[in-house]
Amino acid sequence: MNKASTILLLLLCMGCAQTTTPPQESETTQNTTAPASQPAAAKPQSTDPEMDKFINDLLAKMTLEEKIGQLNLVSVGFDVTGPIVSENVDENIRKGNVGGVFNTFTPVAVRKLQEFAVNNTRHKIPLLFGYDVIHGHRTIFPMPLGLASSWDMQAIERSARIAAEEATADGLNWVFSPMVDIARDPRWGRVAEGAGEDPWLGSRVAEAMVRGYQGDDLTLPNTAMACVKHFALYGAAEAGRDYGTVDMSLQRMFNEYMAPYKAALDAGAGSVMTSFNEINGVPATGNRWLMTELLRDQWGFDGFVVTDYTAINEMMAHGVGNEGEVAALALKAGVDMDMVGELFLKELGAQVKNGKVTEEEINLACRRVLEAKYKLGLFQDPYRYINEERAKNTMMKPEFREAARDIARKSMVLLKNEKNALPLKPSGTIALIGPLARNQRDLIGNWSGAGDWKQAVSVEQGIRNAVGSKVRINYAKGANITDDAQMIRRLNAHGGLLELDKRSSEAMIKEAVQVARNSDVVVAVVGEAQGMSGEAASRADIGLPGQQLALLKALKATGKPLVIVLMNGRPLTLNWEHENANAILETWFAGTEAGNAIADVLFGSYNPSGKLTMTFPRHVGQVPIFYNAKNTGRPFNGEELNKYTSRYMDVPNEPLYPFGHGLSYTTFQYSKPQLSKTTLKGTELLEIQVDVRNTGNYDGEEVVQLYVQDVVGSSTRPLKELKGFQKITLKKGESKTVTFKLTADDLKFYNNEMQYVYEPGEFRVFVGTSSRDVQEAGFRLE
């Protein structure tokens, strides 16, 4: 069989029998395959002989039922993220049928369940306590897409460190974060929860989040085990609809999507969560190629794998088996813990008796769960995370809130600033208009966990805090976030707290226009409700909902300067807004200190420095749209009458705002990149230098971005790929020389034979302020 035939066979096998051997880092894909039904291999001894002995001794004492019980994760308490709440929890804990609990926190609640487990089970095995700590626990930081827009890894790590401090003080030891799914379709609501569209930047964010949560020692009472999700490819769901099908080539998978998962694991993440979607015909939760052959055999992951909420049960709807069959499929794939569905608990005993699974496979899954508890120090002290005094002294400390304010400022992106409309003068009269101007609930976003929205600072309050009586504020709501009664019912059924103003849209807009006419400048705070993004929150229309655009048009007609402050969980289509507003500030859902941070930016006490990590399309018809696309054989060359090129007839190909875009109150001038050599050999280092000068009237920060293009390859390559960035601070008039370093290893990719290689040939480097606004130079790799 030739190599081309082998690759084709492997691709086909991956979609049917899951027998693909994972691609090799530097060798061709192996031709041997292993049957999907083979028993799980015995776990190799770890580098911790004391842990191995402890776990071996414990496993030898446990019954089969007790081992299966450790694989059961139940939901108890304050929050439900799915349709099922676990029943008979106390009784199951007493029987040893529970290995972990999620949605329960506070020292009092956690202690009650932990004591029950330790005092009422034969082996006194402590429980894991997990929760969706996504962008903060009590102190809420910007949503993850906003955090990534800071391009500040220290700030991102700091947000995760504070989240871990608070979560562990609240009795938790396991956080379901980071979400590292690459996403290119803003219709998908969960783009809010990730780092955007680029695998290189996503990898850096993943590493920072894991470091923040786990620190250097998981046994410390202020560190929590991270859970990387969703493995894998969840962000590539068809049509941008949550839980949708994923089907893609291995080459695209490994070049464009897999890197952030691997980076998070290399940073030490202790657990992995499966994704809901199928991958090339096999649900991820039952995909042995994904969960064992790739994750463990090739990548060397030695932590444990938990499903997402009832993901094993949902494989029945996928059509791959009944309850017993999908339970066996998940276990044999490499899943260790069943979240809420309880099919492991219900079915695995019978599956052992009928020979569909072995006790050795259950031992291996149980071992991994017990090892996680050992690594967290729970066998040494089951109550190490339970301290009411610590909780009292930790939650929302002033320094935590100050960090939240600073990080929120860093996350904001100035999309437009015509004729220096911003910053505002701290004088005169401001028309503060919009459904989100006084809002608190939506500021903390859709994954705000234990956050208290009543503690959030509104935009109006933030402005008052910033300028006091020096500025007169005239307020009008102007519009509801949405007038769609069905949408409001859906959102409010899940904590939306939307209140519909009973006045007509015409009356509300008329009031807002009058307020605007009596003011010097209009600040319109518009966007989405928090529940319009996040899980199960896909949107087909990604423009401003309701009558908000009509409101903006009426405000523009007053002739007063129009500043738009956006709050949203995804890139929006903003064509009219871009053409007509004087300034647009993207603030995402910025968290507890949102209002103060927004005021800091509006009035210039902080100069915005955020950059987009996800492309903003002009029209939803362009979606998916992303900067690191490939060329076609007929690229559009700008000739309007040249029909037979790759283009739209009704809108431009280009996005409204590209990846990496973000303005400042000052301006920066770049020199042409200078290369240390024009020919690079495999073991050498290439230095790229560029001079950046602050040519404006403010001190400011700039994210200097480095992109590379492999001009000719054995397979087609993207037009640009991010390979580095530096965030620098320049005083007014100051210049700095920024140096990037590249080696041949930075130019590697997975070729048609799934070899991870670099190839000799011509390369271009691009340096600039965004993926679109760059200067280039070239070199040759030999």
The residues carrying an active-site annotation are: 308
Is the preceding omega at residue 178 within 30 degrees of 0, hence cis? yes
CB atoms within 10 A of CB 504: 11
**Which tokens belong to 192?**
């809010």
What is residue 563's three-state secondary structure? Answer: strand
For residue 345, give the H/E element and its range: helix 343-353
**Which tokens belong to 185?**
């379709």
For residues 707 and 771, is the Cβ–Cβ distance under 8 A?
yes
Rounded CA separation 97/94 (Å): 7
Q: Which residue, 573, 523, 522, 524, is CA-closest to 545?
A: 573
**Alpha carbon 708 to chain centroid distance?**
24
Q: Which residue, 392, 472, 393, is CA-closest to 431?
A: 472
For tokens 């490499």, what's the residue? 334
What is residue 37's three-state secondary structure? Answer: coil
Rounded CA separation 190/215 (Å): 26
> What's the first-to-final CA gap in the chain, in angstroms?
31
For residues 712 and 749, is the Cβ–Cβ distance under 8 A?
no
Question: Which DSSP category does 43 fall into?
Answer: P
For residues 352 and 335, is the Cβ–Cβ distance under 8 A?
no
Give 304-344 as a 3 state SS string.
Answer: EEECCCCHHHHHHHHCCCCHHHHHHHHHHHCCCEEECCCHH
Alpha helices in 518-643 (DSSP H): 548-556, 575-580, 594-602
For residue 162, give the H/E element and its range: helix 153-169
Rounded CA separation 631/621 (Å): 19
Rounded CA separation 43/51 (Å): 13
Tell me whether strands 700-710 and 721-730 are parallel, antiparallel or unpaired. antiparallel
Is the preceding omega at residue 232 within 30 degrees of 0, hence cis? yes
CB atoms within 10 A of CB 782: 10
